[in-house]
Chain A
Amino acid sequence: MKGFWKKITDRYGYPKVFITLFLIILCILAVVQKQNLPGLLKDSLVRVGMNGILVLAMIPSINSGTGLNFGLSLGILCGILAGCISIELNLYGMTAFFVAILISVPFSAAIGYAYGLLLNRVKGDEMTIGTYMGFSIVSLMCIGWLLLPFQSPEMIWAIGGKGLRTTIALADRFAKVTDNFMSFKILGEPVPTGTLLFFALGCLLMWIFLKTKTGVAMMAAGDNPKFATANGINVNKQRIIGSMLSMIIGGIGIIVYAQSFGFFQLYTGPLMMPFMAISAILIGGASAKKANISNVVSGTVLFFALLAISLPVINKMMPEGNLSEVVRIIVTYGVILYALTKVGRDE
C-alpha cells in the first residue's frame, strides 16, 4: 500500500492525487445525498468548457520560460474590452462572438509584446511582477471603464449615462452561442458541445504549434536558455512570443468564459482570475517550468469538476455561510503555494 501510494504521488504529484481523492469523496457524497447527478455532470462540463481556454493560456508562458502567467488579467482585460466593442457595434450571436475574438487579438498581442519586453528585464521575478502588473492595470482600467466613450445603453449606467456597468449581461448578444452549438441531451441535460469543441480545437492548435519550428524553439528557450542561446535561438524573442501568445489566448478565453457565464464582469472582476487558471494547470501536474496539453485537460477537468460538484454538496451539508467558496480559496492558493515550495527546492 505504501509503495503504491509513493508510486502514484511520484508519478502524478501530490496536488493531482489529493484533488482526485477529494473529488471522489465529493462524488460519493453527492450520490449519498441523492443529488441530481446528470445535472452535476452537466455543470462540470459547462465549467470545463468555460475555463479551459484560460487554463490553456498558461502553456506558452510556462514553456517559453516566463513561468506561470500571473499577469494573465492583462489579456483578460483586452478580451473584455473587445467584447464591449462588439456590443457597441451592435452585433448579435455568433458574429458578435467571433468579432469580439478578432478584435481582442491585436489588443492582446500589443499588451503581450509590451509585457514580454518587461519580463525580459526582470528575469527571475516574473511571478511577483506579473501579479502586481496585473493588479495595477486592472485598477487603472477601473478608471478606464468609467471614462471610455461607450454609448450602447445596454452597457452604460442607466442613471447618469456615463461609465460602463459592473456586470454587462450578454443574454441578448452572444450568451451561450457556443454552448448551444450542436448541443444534444444526455440523460435530459444539455451538453455544451460547441464550447467543448472550441476547447478541444484550441488544445489541438496549441499541440500543433508546439511541434512547429517556432514552438520547438520556444520550448528550447524555456527549457535551457543558455543551451538555446548557444544553438542560435534568440531567447528573449521566444519569451516575447510566449507572453504574446499567452495574452492572446487569455483574451479569447475570457470571451468564451463570458459567453458561457452570460456576463462580462468589469472593474475588479478580472483581479483574481489568473490564480484560478494557474491553480488548474498545476493540479494537472504542470510545474512552473514544464507544462503540456494533458496537464491542461486533466487539470481543468479535475479542478472545475471539483468546484461544480462541491457547490451543491457542501451547501447541503453546511447551508450557513459560504463554505464552498472557502474550499475554492483553500484549494486554489494551497496548490499554488505547494508549487512555489517545489520551485524553491529545484534550484
Chain B
Amino acid sequence: MSMQLNITNKKEKNKTSLIKVLTNYSVPILFLVICLIGVYASKLNSIYILNEIAVRLSRNLFMVLALIIPVIAGMGLNFAIVIGAMAGQIGLIAIKVFDLGGFPGFMMALLFATPFALLFGYGTGLILNKTKGKEMITSLMLGFFANGLYQLVFLTFMGTIIPVDNPEIILSGGVGLKNALDLKLIQYAIDNLVRPNIMGVRIPVVSLLLVVALCFVIKFLVKTKLGQDFRALGQDINIAEVSGIKTDKIRLIAITISTVLAAWGQVIFLQNIGTLNTYNSHEQVGMFAIAALLVGGASVTKATISEAIVGTLLFHTLFIVSPFAGKNLFGDAQIGEYFRSFIAYGVIAVSLVLHAWQKYINAKNREKLE
C-alpha cells in the first residue's frame, strides 16, 4: 500500500517537474518543434544545415550577446544596437578607404569602429536617460533617426566635406558612397584562420572563440561591482537610486558597452558576409538579434548567455530551412521568407505584450493591496 502511494507520489512529482520544465521553457520548446518540422519539410541534408549553423553561430551570436547587459540593467531590449552596427560599418568603410586587408585590416576595423561606438553609445544613453520607462520605443525610433543621419553623412558628405577620392567606393558623380562595398579584402579574415573540417562541417574556430570569450567577459562583468549595480537597477531603479547608486551613470555605461559590442559584432558579421550594403546592412540587425534572444526564452527583464546561444541556434535554423520548407510545402519560397520575418516580428510583439501585461497585473494587485 505504502509502496503504491510512493509510486504515485513519484509519478506526480515527475509530472509536475515535467510541466514545470514545459512552462519554463515553453518558448524555446515551441521553436524547437517548429524548427524540427521545418528541417523535415525542407529536405535539406544535415551536413549543409550543420555547416550553415556553424557559420551563423559564429557571425550572429556576438550581436545577440550585445543585448544582454541593457536587459540586466532594466533598460529592456536595446533596439538601438543598430547604431552600434553603424559604428562597425564606419570602421569597415575606414579600412576600405585606407585599403587595409586581411587580419590586420580586421583589427583596424575594430579599432576605427570603437571610438565611434563609444560616442554613439554615450549619446544613446543620454537620450534614454531622458525617456526612462520608454526606453524601447525611444531606442527603436532613435535607430530609425540615426539611419537618416547615417545616410546623410555617407550620401552627401563623402566626397564633399569628407575628402575621399577612391572611385572604387565613391559614386561616379564624386559624391556619396556606393550602395554595395566589396569587402573581399577582409572576408574570412578570422573565419579561415583556423578552420578544421570535422566530418564535412567546417568550423570557424577563431570566430567562435571570440564569441566564447565574450560570454566569459559578460559572465565576469556581471559578478563585479558594476554588474551588481546593473542588477540592482534591473530590479528596481528607485530603490537603486535611494541606496546611493548613480543610476544615470550606470545606465550610460550599460548602453555604451552594448553599443561597442554591437559595433564589433557587425564587423565580425560583415567579415563573413563579404559585402557591405552601405545603406541597408544595419537596418534589420536589431530586429533579428532581438528576435533570436527572445526565441531562446529571454524576456524584456531577463536574459542569460545560454538563452542567447539557444535562441540564436533555433532562430537561425529556422532561417536556413524556412525558404526551402515554404517551397516544398506551398510551392513558393517567398512564403517561407515572409514566414520567418513574421516570426521575427511576432516573437518580439508577443514577448512585449506578455511583459507589459505582467507589469499591468502587478500594478493592479499593488493598487488592491493599498
Q: Mark B119-161, 1 if CB is under 8 A from A, else 0.
A: 0000000010011111011101110110111011001100000
B345→A142 contact, CB < 8 A: no
Nearest-neighbor residue (CB-CB) of B364 within chain A: A123
Q: Mark A300-341, 1 if CB is under 8 A from B, else 0.
A: 000000000000000000111111001001101110110011
Does residue A343 face the partner (Cβ distance < 8 Å to B)?
Answer: yes
Within 8 A of B (CB), among A100-134: 118, 121-125, 127-129, 131-133
A344→B132 contact, CB < 8 A: yes
Does residue A136 face the partner (Cβ distance < 8 Å to B)?
Answer: yes
Within 8 A of A (CB), among B167-209: 171, 173, 175-176
Does residue A200 face the partner (Cβ distance < 8 Å to B)?
Answer: no
Does residue A140 face the partner (Cβ distance < 8 Å to B)?
Answer: yes
Does residue B222 face the partner (Cβ distance < 8 Å to A)?
Answer: no
A337→B352 contact, CB < 8 A: no
Which residues of the partner chain A approach B132 to less than 8 Å between Cβ atoms? 344
Interface of B is mostly: helix
A146→B334 contact, CB < 8 A: yes
Distance A10 CA – B290 CA, assembled complex (angstroms) = 39
Which residues of the partner chain B approach A318 to less than 8 Å between Cβ atoms? 156, 175
Does residue B25 face the partner (Cβ distance < 8 Å to A)?
Answer: no
Interface of A is mostly: helix
Q: Mark B344-366, 1 if CB is under 8 A from A, else 0.
A: 11101100110111011000000
Distance A131 CA – B138 CA, assembled complex (angstroms) = 12
A337→B140 contact, CB < 8 A: no
B332→A336 contact, CB < 8 A: no
A330→B335 contact, CB < 8 A: no
Number of A-B contacts (CB under 8 A): 138
Chain A proximity of B292: nearest CB distance (Å): 15
Chain B proximity of A288: nearest CB distance (Å): 10
Within 8 A of A (CB), among B5-43: none
User: What are 6 inter-chain pairs, A to B, with CB distance below 8 A?
Assistant: A121-B357, A124-B359, A128-B134, A132-B352, A321-B176, A334-B148
Does residue A205 face the partner (Cβ distance < 8 Å to B)?
Answer: no
Does residue B48 face the partner (Cβ distance < 8 Å to A)?
Answer: no
Distance A129 CA – B141 CA, assembled complex (angstroms) = 13
Which residues of the partner chain A approach B339 to less than 8 Å between Cβ atoms? 143
Does residue B338 face the partner (Cβ distance < 8 Å to A)?
Answer: yes
B155→A135 contact, CB < 8 A: no
Distance A326 CA – B132 CA, assembled complex (angstroms) = 28
Candidates A122, A337, A345; contact of B138 at CB < 8 Å: A337
Does residue A139 face the partner (Cβ distance < 8 Å to B)?
Answer: yes
Which residues of the partner chain B approach A337 to less than 8 Å between Cβ atoms? 127, 138, 141-142, 145
Q: Mark A130-160, 1 if CB is under 8 A from B, else 0.
A: 0111011011101100110000000000000
B155→A322 contact, CB < 8 A: yes
Distance A340 CA – B127 CA, assembled complex (angstroms) = 10
B353→A122 contact, CB < 8 A: yes
Chain B proximity of A15: nearest CB distance (Å): 13
Distance A98 CA – B144 CA, assembled complex (angstroms) = 36
Within 8 A of B (CB), among A284-309: none
Candidates B137, B152, B176, B344; contact of A330 at CB < 8 Å: B152
A132→B133 contact, CB < 8 A: no
A128→B148 contact, CB < 8 A: no
A146→B335 contact, CB < 8 A: yes
Candidates B127, B151, B352; contact of A125 at CB < 8 Å: B352
